[in-house]
Structures are given as C-alpha cells and as structure tokens.
Amino acid sequence: MTAASVATIIDAIAEAGEAVPSGSLTPVGGGCINEGAIVGEGARRYFVKLNGTGQRAMFEAEADGLKRLAAADAVRVPRPIAVGEGNGRAFLVLEFIEFGAASPAGFRRLGEALAQLHASHGERYGLPYDNTIGTTLQPNAEDTDWCRFFSRQRLAFQLRLAADNGIGKRVGETGERLLAALRERWAAYRPAPSLVHGDLWSGNVAFDRQGMPVLFDPACYYGDRETDLAMTELFGGFPRAFYDAYNAVAPVSADYPMHRDLYQLYHVLNHFNLFGGGYAGQVRRLLDRLLAELG
C-alpha cells in the first residue's frame, strides 16, 4: 500500500466526520476474499478492507448490508465509515472492533439476536440491488414468490456457473429434476421475507470484549430465515446453545431438515464455483439426498 493511497483512506475517514487516524496501514490476515489492514491507534483505529477497483461495487453492497443489519437493531455489526478508491485499489473502512473470547453465553445471545434479526421483514424477497457471495455475483431481483426466487436466482444461477466450470452433465440433469420437484413441494410455501445475513459461517461471527456477538461480512437479502441457519450447519455447526436459543424464540419449520440440504446446496455449489473440484462430490451427495426425498 503506497503512502498516496493511505492518504486517500485517511481523507475519506475525515470526510465522514470521524476522528482522523495517523500513520500507515498495518496488514492483518484472516480474510478469504479481501486484504485486511488496520489504520490508526486506540480510539482512532479503523479496519480497512482492500481489493481491486473492480470490486468497489462489492464494498458498496457490503456497506449497505451492514447498515441494514444495524437498522434492525438486533445484533452488533461494524459501522461502515467510507467506501472509495485510490491508486488502483478500492477500499471499505469499518469501525474497528476489538474481539474477545467466544462463550456458551455469547452463542446463546447470538441465537436470540439472530431470531430478532429475522423478525425484521421486507415486502418482497431479494434486494433492490445485486451483491456477492464470496466473489460470485448474487442476483437479488425482487420477487413475491419464494420458490421462483430461490430456484432461479440461487440454485439455477449457481448450477449454470457450475456447468460452465465443468461439474458435468449428471449434476445438470439432477439439478433440473430437483427444480421441477421443488415447484410441487413448495406450491404453498410462503416464508416471511426475513432480513438474512446471507453468509453466516463461523468465520463471519465474533464476540466483542463484553461478550456480545458481532456479525460481519454479510451478503444480505430478504429471504427464508432458514437459509442462515442452514449455513451455520455447513462447516461443523455452531454450539448447541445457539440453536436452543434461536428455537426458543423462533422455532424452525417441520421441513427444516430438507430446507437445510437445499440451502446448503446453494453454498456448496458456490464453493465449487469459487474453489473448484473438491466440492463436486458434496454437490452430488446433497442433490441425490434431496431427490430421494423430493423426487
């Protein structure tokens, strides 16, 4: 990061009316998609995400998603401060949050907070703009029909990308059969359009120094709340306290086990499209299980 672009970032922070930091950017690891860095010290410390200028729209969408999550007043998220570009880099400046330890009580609070977030409803499924899941486009054209929204803009979209990426004919055919079976099974399924985080795996959850949960790196839209729960279970799951607390406020539907497979399929297809071959077997297993239940 050159001195010139650090100056652009500091200017953007000043323009947003925040306390102006001094100094250079210190890179920090941990991100899957972007470079992370810290600028400033103490109370004048900010978390900066950096990528190529082509990813500026991705940062605008992330900032908007964080504002939507904050407006629901259910769970702490980093406050977005500025989006901009300088010296061939796009950047997103966020409030810096110092993280503390995870605990069963923290996960219980997270379960309650997520149920509260999901009680925030939109009028339609989707969002007024598209965003990204990882770096993959996530189309959000608004729709009043959940089956149509999820089939077209989530499953069929990722299945097409996977075909382009060489996942093979069998997945294409079983995918088509699944979409047809879903039209029947979901003829009367109308979940409330909940505000969802959209990318809720353990890497996007932390706890602040007071033990309160913090969510970051969202891919928000209005959709079935069970999409978020399905994603929490994809890589090993969250602690029991989280699910108990969520279900005590907002029990999942009787069809949740099937919904979990379906909603995980979207993310596993996306992992195949982002990271390649190793995920093809998991895609096939989920498709086979879903067809056995629905077909």
Q: Count the helices and strands in the chain (H runs, E runs).
A: 10, 11
**212 vs 103: CA distance, rounded Å:** 10
Shortest gap between Cβ of 243 and ligand ADP (angstroms)? 22
- Outline where DSSP puts E strands in 199-283: 205-207, 213-215, 221-223
Please report, as residue ranges, which positions from 39 to 68 form the binding site for ligand ADP (by CB under 6 A).
47
Residue owning tokens 């033990």: 211
Can you state the angle between helices 280-294 and 169-185, rounded to 10 degrees?
40
Give me the catalytic one of 64, 164, 199, 224: 199
Q: Of the two residues 114 and 205, which places its CB atom closer to ligand ADP in the complex?
A: 205
Q: Please give the structure tokens belonging to residue 230.
A: 């399905």
Binding string to ligand ADP for residues 21 to 40, with x set by CB under 6 A, is what?
A: ---------xxxxx-x----
Active site residue 217: no
Does residue 116 belong to the site contacting ligand ADP (CB under 6 A)?
no
What is the end-to-end Cα distance of the chain in Å, rounded? 54
Shortest gap between Cβ of 91 and ligand ADP (angstroms)? 12
Q: Of the two residues 116 and 204, which places its CB atom closer to ligand ADP in the complex?
A: 204
Binding string to ligand ADP for residues 135 to 174, with x set by CB under 6 A, is what?
A: ----------------------------------------
Q: Of the two residues 199 and 224, which places its CB atom closer to ligand ADP in the complex?
A: 199
Sign of torsion over alpha carbons 52, 58, 59, 60: positive
Region of 259 (left: φ > 0; alpha: ψ -120 to 50; beta: rest) is alpha
Please report, as residue ranges, which positions from 188 to 247 form the binding site for ligand ADP (by CB under 6 A).
203-204, 216-217
Helix (H, G, I), strand (E, B) or coil at 112: helix
Q: Please give the structure tokens belonging to residue 130.
A: 């598209």
Q: Of the two residues 94 and 167, which places its CB atom closer to ligand ADP in the complex?
A: 94
Shortest gap between Cβ of 274 and ligand ADP (angstroms)? 12
Instruction: Name the residue with the smallest CB distance to ligand ADP.
Output: 31
Shortest gap between Cβ of 96 and ligand ADP (angstroms)? 5
Q: Of the two residues 45 and 152, which places its CB atom closer to ligand ADP in the complex?
A: 45
Total residues belonging to the chain:
295
Bridge partner residues of 40 (DSSP):
45
Q: Residue 122: exposed, middle, or buried by beta-carbon count in 10 A (0-12, 13-18, 19+)?
A: middle
CA of residue 100 relative to chain centroid, distance: 22
One-letter identity of residue 198: G
Q: Of the two residues 83 and 286, which places its CB atom closer to ligand ADP in the complex?
A: 83
What residues act catalytically? 199
Which residue ranges make up the site for ligand ADP (CB under 6 A)? 30-34, 36, 47, 78, 94-97, 203-204, 216-217
